[in-house]
Structure 1
Amino acid sequence: MKQGSSPTIIRVLDQATVNKIAAGEVVERPASVVKELVENSIDAGAQSIRIDVIASKNEITSISVTDDGMGMDRENALLAFTPHATSKITEIRDLDTIRTLGFRGEALASIAAVARVTLTTRPRDDELAAGTRIVIAGGEILENSAVGSPGGTTILVEDLFYNTPARKKFQKSRATELAHIIGILEGIILAHPTIAFRLTYNGTEQIVTGRNATRLDTIARIYGTATTRDLVPVSGTAPLVTVTGHISRPSLSRKDRDRIFLSINGRYISSPAITNAIKEGYGTLLPKDRFPVAFLALDIDTTLVDVNVHPTKKLVRISREPEIAGAVRDEIKKTLAGHDLIPDIRPPATPQPIVADAPAAMTALPRSLPYQFPKSTPLVVSEPTHAGVTDSDRRLRQTELAPGPAPAATLPPLRVIGEFGGIYILATTASGELMIIDQHAAHERILYELAGQQDDSGKRVQELIAPVMLHRTPRESAVLTELLPALRNEGFQIEEFGKDTFLVRTVPIVLGKLEDTSLLEAIISDLVSTDRGERVDNRERITRIVACRGAIKAGTICTPEQCQRVADQLRLTKNPFTCPHGRPTIIRFSREQLDGMFKRN
């Protein structure tokens, strides 16, 4: 301390300042007000909740929440604005069994500290009781009177942050703030589908849901039937968690996690661990940069869930989280394995012909022409063929899956009728559906699962006629050296051979007769340059890359027999619907869909 300076004085803050500081944690923006008030309504047993938002040209000016919950008498209405006054708990051990959404007793006090609040309420079950009207601004009671009121509660919040200019200054545009309100409400509504909700903005309805609706009905009301058509139900119980809800087929995915909604014991929450478990449950059904759509409700013993982490209560702490996340992941896997995941191609609402008026020459074409397969070409042009057998045919024959138990969800028998562009295989089913198979993606899936079969029965390897020498950069050499044990387990015998040089002696049998060293170079290059931050282990990375590089390439013209072999082998896979990177292997057109596109129905 400098000579002559006065000592630091510690003071107890006045209650108004304390309330404003506390409000800063609970009330961040208008959406925070909506969340706290709506959760109070749910805790009050409301079956119908209305939220009215009014905005001026520049900002949201008022928020009103009306419910048909139990309501309050005058004494309890006054207590509701007292910090840490609550009806939800009475002692610390009650936190272990809390199932209400609120329990801190901070919401109304915090909102009233930074806004003008008008509360109108009457006990729902006492028709003779008078209603109560309380007006508070900045924590100061301006009015406390008896009024006529229906059962339930209405809370009007105006002039939010009028006395905290710094917080008011950082509010975004009214459109942005409305988006936050809708985002918060969507999560709460999906966690409580049996409650009727109505959100209006400047008198215009934004969200309307029905009372006693199913979760799927509620999803359809918010996101439309186009979303619900691509959802499958989830329902399962594990020792620590019960999981119910809906998840999307792989054909419906998003670039981020914004459409993954989770609730635990009725509380809309955020959990990175559970979200990651959902993504992991899809495995190779989705590309690594895509996320599913999910609406899941988890029921967990309350003693395993700590909701007293932050005043907003959206982030929770879960005991035995790895076990619970693992159970969720396994339930997702089981659900997807039991459903037909072939994407359906839906015709546009008003299909348009490619040519409005067909020339006369077109009408003179015969009604049908026999399909002519082009002559087969080798997979790798530079590789010689032997006895008329192409490389693609040899590779397909050497990489066949062993028949096993039928997968839970598989493809029907497929009869190949043609191919298109050296990329797509055309096939039909006994029920008259047209299937289009991506030959590269399908063969990639076959190779990926063949590698898994070999893990169970011993890795089969192909010894090279002459070792292949690889030269890498110093950085790549460091990565490759680290991967050598994992590569050896997957069938690659690679030895260090001087500085930044390696010798390859064997490769996995799934690569066939490797005579073109560029394929091996490509595999190693992929391995040393792949994003190491991806949440898969080295074995999985190696298997995916080998399957991708070893599969027949787009542009390879296959014979009818080769096309049929791909279709037959795809049916034997556990997951015939996507390649290991999540791209579809097959899509389906029904006869009705085709008829609709040609306006035949």
Structure 2
Amino acid sequence: MNSPAPKIRHDARPVIRQLDEATANRIAAGEVVERPASAVKELVENALDAGAARIQVAIEEGGKRLIRVTDDGCGMVPEDLPLALSRHATSKIDGTDLLAITSFGFRGEALPSLGAVGRLTITSRAQGAEGAAIAVTGGRIDAPRPAAANCGTVVELRDLFFATPARLKFLRTERAETQAVAEVLRRLAMAEPYVGFSLTADGREIFRADAEQGDLFGAMTTRLTRLMGADFIDNAVPMDAERDGITLTGFAALPTYSRGAAVAQHLFVNGRPVRDKLLTGALRAGYMDVLAPGRHPAAVLFLECDPQMVDVNVHPAKAEVRFRDPQAARGLLVSALRHAMAGAGHRASSTVGDATLAAVQVEPARPAWQPDRPSGAAIRAGLALQMPVEGFAEAPSARYEPVIEDEPDAPLGAARAQIHENYIIAQTPDGLVIVDQHAAHERLVYERLKAQAQASGIPAQALLIPEIVELSPADADRILGLAGDLAALGLVIEPFGPGAVAIREVPAMLARLDGGALIRDILDDLADQGASDRLQARIDAVLSSMACHGSVRSGRRMTAEEMNALLREMERTPKSGQCNHGRPTWVKLALSDIERLFGRRD
């Protein structure tokens, strides 16, 4: 028996109230200001919008006690100060077109939000005007007052979250908050090489990036060298591509220069640092078959496009964006990365060789006393030891015949020996190269198989009984929209009534394919990233397995001609610097480093 529906008590109807401005600002601050690093980000972006060439940040107790941002930008006149603290007051846009945004800030929320949860003071002076200061405490604004000031603005925020003490419980340790502030400043500095930045924490300077000089590419390279380290630039490929009005520049590291977490991935859209699922998914796809499991690429990439092509007003902290044509942005990033990795050819990270040298432990003998020259008795005893013993027949010794190579200056050198039936030793003009013959040949065979599959297509096998996959109508329409792309990979699907698709053919190389699971995985990728490379990844995995079984095995002795042929093919083959599983295929040791190991150099 069904119970009767509860009656609504009209006399208990909730009352709609208009919140006061201070409460509204505290609520808004919860979206804009999550932690001290969020406040620093908003204030530094305001300074950049003001045209600052030098920005100094000082914090105390991880930013909880004090945040001070000083800039030499255009500044403000006294009458502008109260308006700057008014909600939705901004000089960045006029409100006529929210897609024509060329500045970092545009909502007019940062300063009122900060003033609502802390003790905020703004001191500013514009060129040719008097200096002035204004204070706001917990949302209560004082009248402006005259103040001595240089051209520019100083924003001082004390006692963050004193008006909302519950928020303080969610902050991390002072060290963690300081590191978060430094990371925010570091990311902003990457996109602004002509601006100087500094960060002082509790009176100690912990970050500094002076303004760079020269052309944009040179300034950007120098700035990234300072911020990411020389190793990153030395092991990265420069990016420069354009498609459908979107330009991609920056640097992408070689696959062998990878990380255990996604901490070295920095993506920018029109100079704005973003953490966007579409772009991070495209970054992973660009490195799809060259990274070892559990490894993450390192990259600093800048996408530039007409502001009308991207919406930055989709996230409270403006950390995400939406492209008008997301597939154009993703396609540019994926294709440019794959082209760059292929163009890197046989290159492998120089840090692999550094790690090899570091693994060599050399303990040079250091006798307490050493004579200037051997004594006469010692010389006579040494000569006697070199005389043949009577009745001793010298055993035949192994002879080493050096390999004659007609390309001694080739990048991977000339093969000189094979050791442990797996490692080729090659001589270069300035050192030596050690090649893992199985890993190298595995990549060569894999690239040949991929080229053949691309040229002739993926063979498909018709199913005797089509597999029916039940989906929602929306998901069925979405997956059928990819029918042409999937057919090119050997997966043929057709509509099968409302909310269902029929799998007619599958890639012949995927004998035990769970079509329903694959379709749902692809739909999950589409929902999360807007695209899916899952089927291609499965096909590549099969080709990789075929390459592994068809390559030169460890333990096989190779002739000099075979070894040199392998080296030359590596030099011609894209991505041959790493095997199919992302491990390096060769290591180079510089002659100077080898001589240093043996004490021949200081």
Give the shorter-chain TM-score range: 0.7 to 0.9
1:427 matched to 2:426? The reply is yes
For residue 450 of structure 1, report the CA deviation from its aligned partner.
2.6
Q: Could you say if the C-alpha distance between residues 369 and 142 of structure 1 is closer, same or farther in structure 2, counting changes exceeding 3 Å?
A: farther
Q: What is the correspondence of 1:163-178 to structure 2 with a 5 Å cutoff?
A: 163-178=163-178
For residue 276 of structure 1, report the CA deviation from its aligned partner.
2.5
Is the CA contact (8 Å cut-off) linking 1:487 and 1:542 kept in structure 2?
Answer: no
* Secondary structure of 2:263 counterpart: coil
Aligned to 1:98: 101
1:64 to 62, 68, 72: 68
Aligned to 1:454: 452
Aligned to 1:442: 440
Aligned to 2:544: 544
In structure 1, how many angstroms separate the alpha carbons of the residues matched to 2:272 and 2:9?
Answer: 57
Is the CA contact (8 Å cut-off) linking 2:70 and 2:154 kept in structure 1?
Answer: yes
1:290 to 291, 295, 306: 295
1:120 matched to 2:123? The reply is yes
Aligned to 1:10: 16
In structure 1, how many angstroms separate the alpha carbons of the residues matched to 2:454 and 2:319?
Answer: 43
Is the CA contact (8 Å cut-off) linking 2:341 and 2:574 kept in structure 1?
Answer: no
Q: Could you say if the C-alpha distance between residues 331 and 311 of structure 1 is closer, same or farther in structure 2, counting changes exceeding 3 Å?
A: same
Q: Could you say if the C-alpha distance between residues 483 and 418 of structure 1 is closer, same or farther in structure 2, counting changes exceeding 3 Å?
A: farther
Aligned to 2:260: 255
* Secondary structure of 1:13 counterpart: coil
1:356 matched to 2:362? The reply is no
Counterpart residue identity of residue 110, structure 1: S
Aligned to 2:245: 240
Aligned to 1:278: 283
Is the CA contact (8 Å cut-off) linking 1:208 and 1:221 kept in structure 2?
Answer: no
1:306 matched to 2:322? The reply is no
For residue 325 of structure 1, report the CA deviation from its aligned partner.
1.5
Aligned to 1:85: 89
Aligned to 1:218: 223
Q: Could you say if the C-alpha distance between residues 349 and 148 of structure 1 is closer, same or farther in structure 2, counting changes exceeding 3 Å?
A: farther
For residue 460 of structure 1, report the CA deviation from its aligned partner.
13
In structure 2, how many angstroms separate the alpha carbons of the residues matched to 1:356 and 1:486?
Answer: 66
1:188 matched to 2:188? The reply is yes
* Structure 1 residue runs without a partner (length 5+): 374-409, 462-481, 497-531
For residue 565 of structure 1, report the CA deviation from its aligned partner.
4.5
1:21 to 15, 27, 31: 27
Q: Deviation per CA, 1:65-88, whole angstroms, max 9, x where unpaired?
A: 000001101111110000000111
Counterpart residue identity of residue 120, structure 1: T
Moved more, 324-333 or 4-13: 4-13
* Secondary structure of 1:329 counterpart: helix
For residue 561 of structure 1, report the CA deviation from its aligned partner.
5.0
Is the CA contact (8 Å cut-off) linking 1:371 and 1:418 kept in structure 2?
Answer: no
Q: Could you say if the C-alpha distance between residues 203 and 348 of structure 1 is closer, same or farther in structure 2, counting changes exceeding 3 Å?
A: farther
Is the CA contact (8 Å cut-off) linking 2:198 and 2:207 kept in structure 1?
Answer: yes
1:110 to 113, 116, 140: 113
Q: Could you say if the C-alpha distance between residues 228 and 453 of structure 1 is closer, same or farther in structure 2, counting changes exceeding 3 Å?
A: closer
1:43 matched to 2:52? The reply is no
* Secondary structure of 1:291 counterpart: coil
Q: Deviation per CA, 1:208-237, whole angstroms, max 9, x where unpaired?
A: 111135122222222332333223322222
In structure 1, how many angstroms separate the alpha carbons of the residues matched to 2:294 and 2:170?
Answer: 32
Is the CA contact (8 Å cut-off) linking 2:121 and 2:157 kept in structure 1?
Answer: yes
| Number of equivalenced pairs | 498
Counterpart residue identity of residue 102, structure 1: G
Q: Could you say if the C-alpha distance between residues 309 and 137 of structure 1 is closer, same or farther in structure 2, counting changes exceeding 3 Å?
A: same
Q: Could you say if the C-alpha distance between residues 3 and 341 of structure 1 is closer, same or farther in structure 2, counting changes exceeding 3 Å?
A: closer
Q: Could you say if the C-alpha distance between residues 570 and 14 of structure 1 is closer, same or farther in structure 2, counting changes exceeding 3 Å?
A: same
For residue 310 of structure 1, report the CA deviation from its aligned partner.
1.8
Counterpart residue identity of residue 592, structure 1: S
* Secondary structure of 2:154 counterpart: strand
Is the CA contact (8 Å cut-off) linking 1:351 and 1:599 kept in structure 2?
Answer: no
Counterpart residue identity of residue 70, structure 2: T
Counterpart residue identity of residue 426, structure 1: I
Q: Deviation per CA, 1:546-582, whole angstroms, max 9, x where unpaired?
A: 1123333434444545544533443443332111222
In structure 2, how many angstroms separate the alpha carbons of the residues matched to 1:438 and 1:117?
Answer: 62
In structure 1, how many angstroms separate the alpha carbons of the residues matched to 2:340 and 2:260?
Answer: 22
Is the CA contact (8 Å cut-off) linking 1:411 and 1:576 kept in structure 2?
Answer: no
Counterpart residue identity of residue 39, structure 1: E
In structure 2, how many angstroms separate the alpha carbons of the residues matched to 1:72 and 1:535?
Answer: 56
Q: Deviation per CA, 1:476-529, whole angstroms, max 9, x where unpaired?
A: xxxxxx9996563x4x9x799xxxxxxxxxxxxxxxxxxxxxxxxxxxxxxxxx
* Secondary structure of 1:263 counterpart: strand
For residue 447 of structure 1, report the CA deviation from its aligned partner.
1.8
Q: Deviation per CA, 1:320-339, whole angstroms, max 9, x where unpaired?
A: 11111111222223333333
Q: Could you say if the C-alpha distance between residues 60 and 20 of structure 1 is closer, same or farther in structure 2, counting changes exceeding 3 Å?
A: closer
Q: Could you say if the C-alpha distance between residues 320 and 457 of structure 1 is closer, same or farther in structure 2, counting changes exceeding 3 Å?
A: closer
In structure 1, how many angstroms separate the alpha carbons of the residues matched to 2:265 and 2:458?
Answer: 41
Q: Deviation per CA, 1:385-431, whole angstroms, max 9, x where unpaired?
A: xxxxxxxxxxxxxxxxxxxxxxxxx96464321122232111224x3
* Secondary structure of 1:91 counterpart: coil
Counterpart residue identity of residue 116, structure 1: R
Counterpart residue identity of residue 552, structure 2: I
* Secondary structure of 2:198 counterpart: strand
Moved more, 32-41 or 174-183: 174-183
* Secondary structure of 1:554 counterpart: coil
Is the CA contact (8 Å cut-off) linking 2:347 and 2:575 kept in structure 1?
Answer: no
In structure 2, how many angstroms separate the alpha carbons of the residues matched to 1:220 and 1:559?
Answer: 43
In structure 1, how many angstroms separate the alpha carbons of the residues matched to 2:144 and 2:586?
Answer: 68
In structure 1, how many angstroms separate the alpha carbons of the residues matched to 2:243 and 2:230?
Answer: 31
1:335 matched to 2:340? The reply is yes
Counterpart residue identity of residue 575, structure 2: N
Q: Deviation per CA, 1:274-301, whole angstroms, max 9, x where unpaired?
A: 2222333234332243222111111111
TM-score, length-normalised on structure 1?
0.75
